[in-house]
Amino acid sequence: MTKTIIVYGSETGNTESVAEEIASALKAADFDVTLKEVTQASVGDLSDYDLILLGSSTWGEEEKELQADMVDFYDDLEGADLSGKPAAAFGCGDSDYTHFCGAVDLLEERLEQIGATLLDEGLRIDGDPDDDDAREWAKQIAAKFNKTG
């Protein structure tokens, strides 16, 4: 079974809901999934997993702004080495802001900086999450992982 970790930061519960849907879809595809809220996760644990998914909501008018609980984890990622590890990012945002889902951009950039291989474009959800979008994205991630893994 593919050991997968999903680490998320969620302000209102939307990104948490998306993370749960992604986890459910991956479990249905026979992935062994660990779901962790970011304050319960450690960057050091990521290397123990075959697939890494990071999620954060985007808040504020800044160009790219992470959910508050995700900031320290994101900073700690800078020293990690995830060379060759398949990964992807997801999050919720509001398209009324100038920079829609900038947190997903930040996570993707950091994952690439530390050597991870992005499997797919990040999932960016506008407003309230659509469970179908999360499940479909998870299925795409599973299919791409199975092709590379």
What's residue 60's pLDDT? 66
Give the span between the Cα atoms of 13 and 54, in whole angstroms: 15
Is residue 14 exposed (0-12), middle (13-18) or buried (19+ Cβ within 10 Å)? middle
What's residue 98's pLDDT? 77
Number of domains in the chain: 1
Three-class DSSP category at 92: strand
- Please, which pLDDT band fits residue 21 given cuts at 50, 70 and 90? very high
Q: What is the mean pLDDT of the chain?
A: 92
- Please, which pLDDT band fits residue 117 given cuts at 50, 70 and 90? very high
Give the span between the Cα atoms of 57 and 102, in whole angstroms: 9
Question: CA 73, 74, 78, 84: dihedral to nearest 10 degrees?
Answer: 100
| Domain of 129, in residue numbers | 2-148
Residues 45-95: pLDDT tens digits? 999 999 999 999 987 666 668 999 999 999 999 989 999 999 999 999 888
Tell me which DSSP letter residue 114 carries.
T
Q: What is the pTM of this model?
A: 0.95
% of the chain beyond a pLDDT of 70: 96
Distance between first and last Cα of the chain: 11
CATH number of the domain encompassing residue 93: 3.40.50.360
